[in-house]
Amino acid sequence: MLDKLKDGFQGAIRKLVGSPSLDEQEIKEFVHDVQRTLIGADVRAQIVLEVSQKIEKRALEEKPPPGLPRKDHIVKILYEEFVAILGQEGKLDLPSNRTNVVLMVGIQGSGKTTTIGKLARVLAKRNYRIGVVAADTFRPGAVTQLKTICESINIPVFGDEKEKDSPKVAANGVDFFRDQSYNVVIVDTAGRHKEEQSLIDEMKKISRTVNPDIVFLVIDGTIGQAAFAQASAFHKAVPVGGIIVTKLDGAAKGGGALAATAATGARIFFLGTGERVDDLEQFVPTRFVGRLLGMGDLQSLLDRAKELELVADEKQVKRMMSGKLTMNDFLVQIESVKKMGSLRKIIESLPGFSQVNLPEQNIEEMEKRMPYWRAMIQAMTVAERTDPDLLNSQRVKRIARGSGVLERDVKDLLTRYRQAKAVMKASKGRQFRNMMRQMGKQ
């Protein structure tokens, strides 16, 4: 899906990550690559300009949170700005105690009729009772096409091949299903007339007669720049409440989707990814952009970056990087691992622990022990935390008592701390940097 956009973004990211240094020139080049990619994907020039200026400004000015490599931070900025132009996720709110009317509009061939089948299927899974009204009275065979699609998924269709007055069919159809207390009625419409104005007039009339709860504009994902004018025209006739972009499985460049959201201010709700009745995906901007940028679950990168912002204080990181490690730093490490939740994923890169070859149950064991480690460190005095070499057997005893563990446990903690410190020293913090990077990236 959207291969060109994906290739472009991923190429730009690879170049950024692969470059030996990172100066203003490189950041500008990255932004340039992003720009080129967006333009190549048919995104409107104005949007391209706005978004790339924002990315450049943030990439040059923002300081990444300690522990997050600057390059990762720039990828995160790209991600955030791209998600921002796509807007929030569209959530379809259809109360089940009434008959909701959904009106589908869009140019002929955009995929309205096909999408109705897909949408009905999605909603049927949510236990709605759904009826469909065939109000495309212009295209020959339109009613039959709709009936064929809906028959395959057991959804009733109201249609009248002989009736050419589409607002009348629409109104009758909605009444028909409302009388039987259906939850959702989806109205299919025509997408072509002898002239554009009569199409727009017809949409206005239908909208006035059925009074829809939401109007979906169906946009062909392959039409590029033309989507803006199309979306504007429909939006003038009927208030577009949501957008469905189709044909993203093919040669779509995807920019049309952005154009349509820009023209109407409406959110994208669904993506059509094939001709079959199951080829409809709910549109989640974060997931969508994550996939384009090729970083898998980007949400987790963001969560981790946030954790780093919370956990790491810059001085602490610097000290650790220079090979010095206090018990407090060690506690921060333990805490951050705990907060990340996925201990196993990062365990190998955690200094000190990397030496130990850990079978599965040991990891569980460690997770159980973490609260005790914390309690032990908290039971230490400031001097002891800064210089754990002070911990003679007398002090160990005190700490064990103070934190409700055995002396053996305190000694075990000290061993781990020393391992971590040794590794830290040997690698001059490289390991820690790696750990932070891994946590930020995955």
Ligand X SMILES: Nc1nc2c(ncn2[C@@H]2O[C@H](COP(=O)(O)OP(=O)(O)O)[C@@H](O)[C@H]2O)c(=O)[nH]1
Residue 156 as a binder of ligand X (CB under 6 A): the answer is no
Binding mask 71-110 for Mg ion (x = CB under 5 A): ----------------------------------------
Answer yes or no whether residue 113 interacts with Mg ion by CB under 5 A.
Answer: yes
CA distances 227 to 7, 128, 232, 264, Å, are: 23, 31, 8, 11
CA end-to-end span of the chain: 23
**Closer Cβ to ligand X, 221 or 352, answer by number:** 221
Counting beta carbons within 10 angstroms of the beta carbon of residue 124, is it exposed (0 to 12), middle (13 to 18) or buried (19 or more)? middle
C-beta of residue 234 within 8 angstroms of C-beta of residue 203: yes
Give the pairing of strands 100-105 and 214-220.
parallel
Interface residue with ligand X, options 52, 110, 209, 230 (CB under 6 A): 110
Count of residues that bind Mg ion according to CB under 5 A: 2
Cα 387 to Cα 391: distance, rounded to the nearest angstrom: 8
Residue closer to ligand X, measured from CB, 111 or 241: 111
Q: Are 403 and 378 in contact (CB under 8 A)?
A: yes
Least CB distance to ligand X at residue 118 (A): 8
Question: Which tokens hold the place of 361?
Answer: 């149950």
- Interaction between residue 250 and ligand X (CB under 6 A): yes
Q: Classify each residue of 42-54 as buried b or exposed e, where b means 16 or more C-beta atoms within 10 Å of its C-beta.
A: bbbeebbeebbeb
Among 99, 222, 273, 300, indicate the residue that binds ligand X (CB under 6 A): 273
Contact present, 316 and 325 (Cβ < 8 Å):
no
CB of 115 to ligand X, least distance (A): 6
Contact status: 159 vs ligand X (CB under 6 A): no
212 to 231: interface string for ligand X, x by CB under 6 A: ------x-------------
Q: Does 113 bind ligand X (CB under 6 A)?
A: yes
Among 111, 131, 254, 255, indicate the residue that binds ligand X (CB under 6 A).
Answer: 111
Instruction: Round to whole Å and give the CA distance between 252 and 2.
Output: 6
Return the number of the residue (247 or 253) whose C-beta is nearest ligand X.
Answer: 247
The interface partner of residue 279, options being ligand X, Mg ion, none and the CB cut-off 5 to 8 Å by kind, is: ligand X
With CB under 5 to 8 Å by kind, the binding choice for 253 among Mg ion, ligand X, none is none
Could you tell me if 390 and 419 are in contact, meaning their C-beta atoms sit under 8 angstroms apart? no
In the sheet with 280-282, reading across from the earlier edge strand, the strands are 157-158, 130-135, 184-189, 100-105, 214-220, 242-246, 267-272, 280-282
Using CB under 6 A as the binding rule, whether residue 137 contacts ligand X is answered as no
| 247 contributes a contact to ligand X by CB under 6 A | yes
Residue with smaller CB distance to ligand X, 22 or 226: 226
191 binds ligand X (CB under 6 A): yes
Stretch that binds ligand X, among 22-30, 58-66, 266-274, 326-334 (CB under 6 A): 266-274
Site for ligand X in 77-106 (CB under 6 A): 106
Of positions 109, 156, 239, 323, contacts ligand X by CB under 6 A = 109
Nearer to ligand X, 10 or 108 (CB): 108
Q: Nearest approach, Cβ of 146 to Mg ion (angstroms)?
A: 7
247 binds, among Mg ion, ligand X, none (CB under 5 to 8 A by kind): ligand X
Which of Mg ion, ligand X, none lies near 336, with the C-beta cut-off 5 to 8 A by kind? none
In 368-397, which positions are buried (b, 16+ CB within 10 angstroms) versus exposed (e)? Answer: ebeebbeebbebbeeebbeebeebeeebbe
- Total of residues contacting ligand X (CB under 6 A): 19
Provide the minimum distance between the beta carbon of 275 and ligand X in the complex, in angstroms, as a whole number: 4
Under the binding rule (CB under 6 A), the answer on residue 249 touching ligand X is yes
Residue 28 Cβ, how far from ligand X at the closest point, in Å? 37
Calpha distance 48→52 (Å, rounded)? 6
- Choose between 192 and 374: whose C-beta lies nearer to ligand X: 192
Q: Does 137 bind Mg ion (CB under 5 A)?
A: no
Residue 282 is a binding residue for ligand X (CB under 6 A): no
Interface positions with ligand X (CB under 6 A): 106, 108-114, 191, 218, 246-247, 249-250, 272-275, 279
